[in-house]
Amino acid sequence: MPELAAIWLTLQLSLVTTLVLLVIGLPFAWWLSNQTGGLRTTLETLTSLPLVMPPTVIGFYLLIMMSPDTFIGGLWLDLTGDTLTFSFAGLVVASIIYSLPFMIQPLLNAFESVDPKLREAAGDLGASTAEIFRHLILPLSKRGIITGGILTFAHTVGEFGIVLMVGGNIPGETRVISIALYEKVEILNYAEAHILSVTLLTFSFLVLFITYSLNKTPLMRLR
């Protein structure tokens, strides 16, 4: 099996991205699901932007934002002694932004499909808002949370343009499967390109198959 390092790096990146997005996404989506009006629409639009923007556009802005000359890039350099661009940490930041809608939308849908009458009943029995989230909303949203996790993971595995812009092609640091595949094709090594492609294709198929089996509702319900 060629490119084991790239495969390993991809899995690491996807796992870290998924975990970070779960930690950020659960409270954020819960808060957002309780909002109404213009703020809600604005934030939902912003989190969904990565769905329609070309990855290169996001990658370009992120590259500029994370460069050592800027506040964020400079701060990161001072704290870690390393640049945020062309590093694994930079890839994680980029993936979080790029995969945001794949976590937030399933969570929002799941939270909102919990019957508000059950929330009323729990409150009537004396449960606080935090207890209602912990004991009612979370367990009843289990499928949505799993769906969000799987989709985020799979989407991160498959990203290309944004990685290329922000991370480049540093083996063991930023060289993920899709970059490795691109390079194989560039140097006309079709045999190895085939192996990587079939691996990704099989992986994607399995992930979506599992998700659909879990969840008989459409993948994304954009409003």
Partner 1 sequence: MLIAQITCSRGSFSFRAKVDLKPGVLYGLIGPSGSGKTTFLHALAGIVPADGEIKFKQDIWQDHSYIAPSQRRSTSTVFQENRLFPHLTVKENLLFAEERTLSDSCSVDMKAVVENLEIDRILEKKPEQLSGGQIKRVSIARSILSDPDVLLLDEPTTELEDRLKSKILKFISELTKTNNKITILVSHHLPDIGRYCEETMVISKNVISPPRPTQSVFVRGLADLANNAESLEGSVLSVTVLDHQRDRGLTRLSLADEVIVAPISADLERGEKTNIFVLARDVILASEQPDKISIRNCLSGHLVEINEYPDGFSSVVIIDIGGQSLAARITNSSLQDMNLQTGQTIFALIKTISVEV
Q: How many Cβ atoms sit within 10 Å of the Cβ of residue 172?
A: 10
- Residue 160 · residue 178 · CB < 8 Å: yes
Cβ-based nearer residue to partner 1, 123 or 158 = 123
**Please, what is the angle between helix 177-186 and helix 190-214, to 10°?**
150
Q: 102: burial class by Cβ within 10 Å (0-12, 13-18, 19+)?
A: buried
Which of these, 10, 47, 52, 13, lies nearest to 31 by C-alpha position?
47
Cβ-based nearer residue to partner 1, 140 or 210 = 140
Q: Is 52 in the site for partner 1 (CB under 8 A)?
A: no
Cβ-based nearer residue to partner 1, 96 or 110 = 110
Q: What is the contact mask toward partner 1 in residues 96 to 135, using x (rule: CB under 8 A)?
A: ---------------------xx-xxxxxxxxx--x---x
Smallest distance, partner 1 to C-beta of residue 136, A: 6
Cβ-based nearer residue to partner 1, 34 or 128 = 128
Q: What distances in angstroms separate CA 56 from CA 1, 101, 146, 161, one per listed residue?
A: 30, 17, 29, 5
Smallest distance, partner 1 to C-beta of residue 134, A: 12
Smallest distance, partner 1 to C-beta of residue 129, A: 8
Smallest distance, partner 1 to C-beta of residue 220, A: 25
**Tokens representing 192?**
């190895």
* Residue 4 DSSP SS3: helix
Q: Which of residues 130-189 bind partner 1 (CB under 8 A)?
A: 131, 135-136, 139-140
Smallest distance, partner 1 to C-beta of residue 132, A: 9
The site for partner 1 (CB under 8 A) is made up of: 117-118, 120-128, 131, 135-136, 139-140
